[in-house]
Homo-oligomer: A and B are copies of this chain.
Amino acid sequence: MTLGEFSVIARFFSRPVSPGILGVGDDAARLSLPPDTDLVSCKDLLIEGRHFFSDVAPATLGHKALAVNLSDLAAMGAKPLACLLGIGLTAPCPDWLGDFADGFYRLADQWQCPLIGGDTISSDFGTVISVTALGTLPKGELGLRRDRGQIDDDLWLSGDLGGADVALRALQGDDKISPELLAATRERLERPEPRVALGQALLPLAHAAIDVSDGLAQDLQHLLKASHCGAEIQWQQLPLHPMLQTLPENIKRLAVLNGGDAYELCFTAPKRSRTDIEQLAIALSIPLSRVGSLTQAPGLRLHHGNGLVESLSAQGFDHFKRGEQHG
């Protein structure tokens, strides 16, 4: 069954929005910002074969396409406002679109982030998804900028790391990853939970933040560079996904330090925030691990339990350098 562009939009991407919003159906969407807020905006592109497998479950893909953008808003401490979806499809299939839309809208509804517009086109060579997320920050609130890290800040991580990378390896055929381990980690890869509530709650407590999308070593070094400082991190404090403990050290290490797609927040906060952050972890039911601190000395140093200190270079995911698929 072939669907036309306008029937795709009408059938799958025109769910009602609140009164006062002009949503899908005009040349552009329109809405008001809440009083005394600034606009925060970001966009991420996802391409079949590069960011997702061709046979990924469409509800999962709909979730993830929005989740990676909400994660960027979260890393600013922004509150979601609305989103736009551009989608390029080879042959639109109603079942696929229905499931994709369900996954997308479910997450959008969870964070009150209505889909207000976008573009639906035909693509000759695979599915392309482009989401723009719009959010707000209170005026006068600095937000969790990458360049606000301060020397002696504690360094924190939300959730756990390595699960998405291990699942990706398994799906790419790495037979060192058991089916049980894939089953236990697959949700991390395919349905990351953007740390939206955490980001907003950290505004009064934290200085700088970044979301871990391209690997901790690389993303953290973006933050350090922007903040003109270095960091020490403790290997034994890093929140390894609980199912990864039994993996060989080299795989564990790569998954935790260089694995992409984690969508956890890496943030810095003054020592005086420790108690509040620990209470926040309980209130939000999100593990928050204190993994190190910022230093005047530049560079990123990893402390192993045995006294060994290793200098890390950024070796995360660079979209033009690693040939393999990024899930």
Interface, chain A (partner B; CB < 8 A): 2-6, 8, 22, 25-33, 38-45, 47, 49-51, 71-73, 75-76, 78, 82, 84, 86-89, 92, 116-126, 128, 130, 132-135, 137, 139, 143, 145-147, 209-211, 226, 318-321
Which B residues are CB-close (under 8 A) to A117? 41-43
Which B residues are CB-close (under 8 A) to A40? 28-30
On whether the beta carbons of A318 and B51 are closer than 8 Å, the reply is: no
- Cα-based distance from A137 to B32 in the complex (angstroms): 10
On whether the beta carbons of B320 and A134 are closer than 8 Å, the reply is: no
Chain B CB within 10 Å — which of A5, A33, A45 has the most? A45
- Cα-based distance from A57 to B25 in the complex (angstroms): 32
Given A76-B26, A320-B5, the answer on whether A41 and B122 have CB atoms closer than 8 Å is: no
On whether the beta carbons of B41 and A128 are closer than 8 Å, the reply is: no
On whether the beta carbons of A28 and B76 are closer than 8 Å, the reply is: yes
- Cα-based distance from A37 to B104 in the complex (angstroms): 29
On whether the beta carbons of B122 and A30 are closer than 8 Å, the reply is: no
Which B residues are CB-close (under 8 A) to A321? 2, 4-5
A121 partner, pick from B2, B51, B88, B125, beta carbons under 8 A: B51
> Within the complex, what minimum Cβ distance (angstroms) separates A99 from chain B?
18
Which B residues are CB-close (under 8 A) to A139? 32
Which B residues are CB-close (under 8 A) to A121? 45, 47, 50-51, 319
Given A130-B86, A137-B30, A146-B25, the answer on whether A319 and B47 have CB atoms closer than 8 Å is: no
> Within the complex, what minimum Cβ distance (angstroms) separates A62 from chain B?
17
Given A39-B32, A86-B45, the answer on whether A123 and B50 have CB atoms closer than 8 Å is: yes
On whether the beta carbons of A92 and B137 are closer than 8 Å, the reply is: no
Given contacts A4-B320, A41-B117, A42-B84, 12 further A-B contacts (CB under 8 A): A5-B318, A26-B76, A26-B145, A27-B76, A27-B209, A27-B211, A28-B133, A29-B41, A30-B38, A33-B33, A47-B124, A84-B132
On whether the beta carbons of B119 and A44 are closer than 8 Å, the reply is: yes
> Within the complex, what minimum Cβ distance (angstroms) separates A149 from chain B?
12
Which B residues are CB-close (under 8 A) to A50? 88, 121-124
- Cα-based distance from A62 to B22 in the complex (angstroms): 29
